[in-house]
Amino acid sequence: MPTPTNPAAKTERLMNLVMTLLYTRRPLSRARIRETVEQYRLAASDEAFERMFERDKDELRELGIPLVTEEISAGWEDEPGYRIHQRDYALPQISFDSDELAVLGLAARAWSHATLAGPAATALRKLRASGVEPDDEALAFVEARLGTSEPAFGPLLEALLAEVPVRFEYARPGGPGSQREVQPWGLTSQSGHWYLTGFDTGRGEPRVFRLSRIAGSVTRAGKPGSYAVPADHDPVTMIRRRRTGAPLTLARLRVRAEAGNALRRRGIVTPGEEGWHVLELPFGEARDLAHELASYGRSVVVEEPPEVREALIAILRATGTAHEEVVA
């Protein structure tokens, strides 16, 4: 029976090879490896096995798996043996602080109904298997379930991770659609809608695209790694600025030390009184910023401008009133 050549069969063959070399007590010869790994044993000829084994060795090493060659014994002077040392293959002990565990729990909830639900669940299982238990309760007050019903989300996410330009038809409100070629920079949810930020090569400038207005399929328009996302790219600020069409205003906040990390990434932080930092943060719409700041509770205090402070107070009061009504 010929050896299967599809991707699944190749993955299974590589896994079998890794397990064989990882748990052997002594280096294995090529002949012994061929006897042990079923896919090699089914090879049509010695030449076919040799070609397959050489390709697999190179691929394992490219993946960072430490496959080494060693002498087998005095009786095998002309042939090396192969093995993988567990001390080189095993990962170090994983540990996280309380904030990181809280974020892991939040991320798992965020993707529970989305495209990444499967990978997220797999990642959590691996963490728990290694003794890491994400904190599912620390941020329970945050409702972080993200819906991704737009068909364009999956292809755009894959292109973003691989840094591949894409091409799609984009419909403007009240106007005909047009072909766009974009270098994806980010995918962000704002006010119940998903947006793509990136560089529109046809227009020659950064642009924001609402996923629900992408018609038809998203196709790749280049090779992986053909561009780089700017290090200072802030998709939230970019989306809010394009949505409001207004220039950004600067807010001055007091933020407790070790809190507000997502805010700090978008602003300028300077030391404040003991236990606090001062954060200057650009924003487009006062009420949008107030809604974001409300989730930080007592960890954030708005000093200016007044419209953000007043909007935040109104949101907190409304939340308190609603809570009292539910309890009553």
Whichever domain contains 318, its CATH number is 3.30.70
Question: Per-residue pLDDT tens for 133-174?
Answer: 554 444 444 444 455 567 888 889 889 988 999 999 998 765
Checking if the pLDDT of 194 tops 70, the result is: yes
238 found inside a domain: no
| Co-location of 17 and 58 in the same domain | yes
Of all residues in the chain, the percent with pLDDT exceeding 90 is 23
| Co-location of 269 and 206 in the same domain | no
CATH at 38: 1.10.10
239 found inside a domain: no
Region 6-12 average pLDDT: 77
Domain that includes residue 272, residue range:
249-327
| Co-location of 30 and 82 in the same domain | yes
Provide the pairing of β-strand 249-256 with 300-304: antiparallel
Count of structural domains within the chain: 4
Identify which of 252, 259, 303 has the alpha carbon closest to the alpha carbon of residue 280: 252
Contact 180, 170 (CB under 8 A): yes
132 found inside a domain: yes
| Co-location of 182 and 217 in the same domain | yes
1 found inside a domain: no
Element (H, E) at 201: none
| Co-location of 209 and 186 in the same domain | yes
| Co-location of 47 and 65 in the same domain | yes
301 found inside a domain: yes
| Co-location of 263 and 318 in the same domain | yes
242 found inside a domain: no
20 found inside a domain: yes
Q: Could you say which of 119, 146, 173 is where a domain stops?
A: 146
Q: List, in sequence order, every beta strand (DSSP E) within the chain.
A: 67-71, 80-84, 166-171, 177-190, 193-200, 205-210, 214-220, 249-256, 268-271, 276-283, 300-304
Checking if the pLDDT of 124 tops 60, the result is: no
pLDDT: is 271 or 117 the higher one? 271
Q: Which residues pair with 206 in a beta bridge?
A: 199
φ, ψ at 117 (rounded to 5°): -60, -45
The answer, as to whether pTM is greater than 0.85, is no
Distance CA 184, CA 229 (A): 8
| Co-location of 228 and 187 in the same domain | yes
237 found inside a domain: no
| Co-location of 125 and 198 in the same domain | no
pLDDT at 139: 40
Region 208-226 average pLDDT: 89
| Co-location of 158 and 183 in the same domain | yes
CATH at 164: 2.30.30
Question: Per-residue pLDDT tens for 43-82?
Answer: 889 999 999 999 999 888 888 888 888 887 655 556 788 9
| pLDDT interval class at 267 (50, 70, 90) | confident
Q: Could you say which of 50, 74, 89 is where a domain stops?
A: 89
Q: Could you say which of 123, 146, 169 is where a domain stops?
A: 146
| Co-location of 176 and 124 in the same domain | no
| pLDDT interval class at 320 (50, 70, 90) | confident
| Co-location of 84 and 101 in the same domain | no
